[in-house]
Structure 1
């Protein structure tokens, strides 16, 4: 091991830790009562800094608006891609889109999962600071104000795909026309002649889920149909939620003749609930999903669904974060790509 590695006081401050503006690294160090190499360790996500010292330095970096000088020591060879869950074909479509763009720029991906949490933990942030990627893409996730400040001070841009909440005007994001998709799905069922239409949304805390439910309500209200709260269920975007909520709807004294689900996985859960109740799709029950995952074409019967351009959304986010990493500011911070209804064999006019 070299002397520099075993004697921290010999460690040199990287050239890339000079700021673009605000306080210098040395001024931050003096204010915190520590050495400049210690501040550099905090900037680089090093673990060998006492928690109290790290917190004090982070607060001063935020207070003084420290911004690392772009590109001097950064090695932009990676894109960090973080999901709240990595369990389905939905995630694979997003990974494929980011990889398509990253490959063209000679970048590699680092995949992370926040174990179902919509905000990744501090361990993940520390890893990002240590890797110093060209940028971060968060899928159905968000960052705390403190985490945003940490990435900003290191000049690591981030983009949110299908944000769980309102990311704010200052955070670049890529989404889809969820409200329009919910409207189109429900309107399709109304035009087929359905009047009792159930809906199984996703988590109410997710903006995309609320928008799809709002589109469902708007279609009913525009058609002069009542929104029956007994036909509205909240799911979690998994098969099991579609199955459980589907059974619940089909056990009603006056069950729906059609169900719109917030995603394809829940639609497949409704398929199983209908089978268990001895119902045939679409003869006895019409079902519409949302996403248009590859499996939707191969289930029996093939699923009518709203196509969400997942791969294109991911490609757009990747191009955006790469541009930000190169210092190019986007013309707009919010991009919404269009959804499209794909009619297959799981929908038909109701009996009678």
Structure 2
């Protein structure tokens, strides 16, 4: 018969210690530590282990992952470097990363600095100081050689999601080149020959690769590449508004616009409305990512769908495999064209 040891219940689950559990279970602290740290043995838990785990559950014990990391050089946590969390794309990836990490038994430590390399470098140093086991970043700049060099020399696994910086850093991304080509080919198939593109910022691989796909589709169709139809912009709605006004003010304006993200496409819609143009009657429009709102717009948006949830979960699984001794590999996810009401043949 196990002797009962009365114990004062801590005011907060986070104040429960291994000593509290050991005192109530009548065992040594090292026994509690071993039971709570190990996976279930093939033969199942011993009666003592069952008792220890039940007491820990009842008291609401939560392990201190940082303290464990200081002892083992691993915190069983994943650092996240994710600027622009107000962007639906980034928020969706973040949510899927969090869910996949928790399911795998990892905690996440989120930083969301401004989308500049200096700010991201400061956040990277912070994550390293917190003894995280690995890091996922979503918004690296493809042209920052100094930061990329630092990432290559990190002492822990590091992977990017959403954006990439070339072959030197493992990445989980959508096939943005193919997505840009699919969008442009569809507009060409409809009969458009003057196709503008709101191409996003120059430093982002997502916009850059989609622009390359746009150019390839024009080349393969024997159409002229007119640089006046390429407008770099910010990702937000205002970027789409300004980009569209620039394109539509041309002496020979486009009959279709490919916006390389859905949020900018909403801005293009607004600019077209301000100019008295109808979509798709006067202007066809394609976006990118298929965020939930675009199917519910008054004119549902034709767009390229990238599986953001799969991107986040794949990044987690790939990183954890490396943390546990496996190789870090890059993954390119397929995309698909979703045809809705914002595209039609030109008049």
The TM-score normalised by the length of structure 2 is 0.74
The offset of 1:84, in angstroms, is 2.9
Count of aligned residue pairs for this structure pair: 275
Aligned equivalent of 1:47:
none
Aligned equivalent of 1:41:
none
CA distance in 2, matches of 1:219, 1:123: 40
Aligned equivalent of 1:341:
337
CA distance in 1, matches of 2:123, 2:212: 34
The offset of 1:345, in angstroms, is 0.7
- Comparing 105-114 and 271-280, the one that deviates more: 105-114
Residues 157 and 283 (structure 1 numbering): CA distance in 2 closer, same or farther, change over 3 Å? same
Q: Is the 8 A contact 2:101 2:316 kept in 1?
A: yes
Aligned equivalent of 1:28:
none
The offset of 1:238, in angstroms, is 1.5
Aligned equivalent of 1:225:
223
Instruction: Provide the secondary structure at the position in 1 that maps to 2:242.
Output: helix
Q: Is the 8 A contact 2:175 2:335 kept in 1?
A: yes
CA distance in 2, matches of 1:216, 1:307: 16
- 2:175 is the counterpart of 1:177: yes
CA distance in 2, matches of 1:141, 1:344: 32
CA distance in 2, matches of 1:344, 1:198: 19
CA distance in 2, matches of 1:347, 1:121: 38
CA distance in 1, matches of 2:124, 2:219: 45
- 2:103 is the counterpart of 1:107: no
1:271-310 paired onto structure 2 within 5 Å: 271-310=269-308
Residues 124 and 182 (structure 1 numbering): CA distance in 2 closer, same or farther, change over 3 Å? same
Aligned equivalent of 1:145:
149
1:54-65 paired onto structure 2 within 5 Å: none
Aligned equivalent of 2:157:
157
CA distance in 2, matches of 1:138, 1:120: 13
Structure 2: which 5+ residue stretches go unaligned?
A: 1-68, 142-146
CA distance in 1, matches of 2:75, 2:324: 9
The offset of 1:106, in angstroms, is 2.4
Q: Is the 8 A contact 2:164 2:171 kept in 1?
A: no
The TM-score normalised by the length of structure 1 is 0.73
CA distance in 2, matches of 1:119, 1:339: 32
Tell me which of 283, 305, 323 is aligned to 2:321: 323
Tell me which of 266, 285, 294 is aligned to 1:268: 266
Aligned equivalent of 1:207:
205
Tell me which of 238, 244, 256 is aligned to 1:240: 238
Which structure is larger by alpha-carbon Rg, 1 or 2? 2
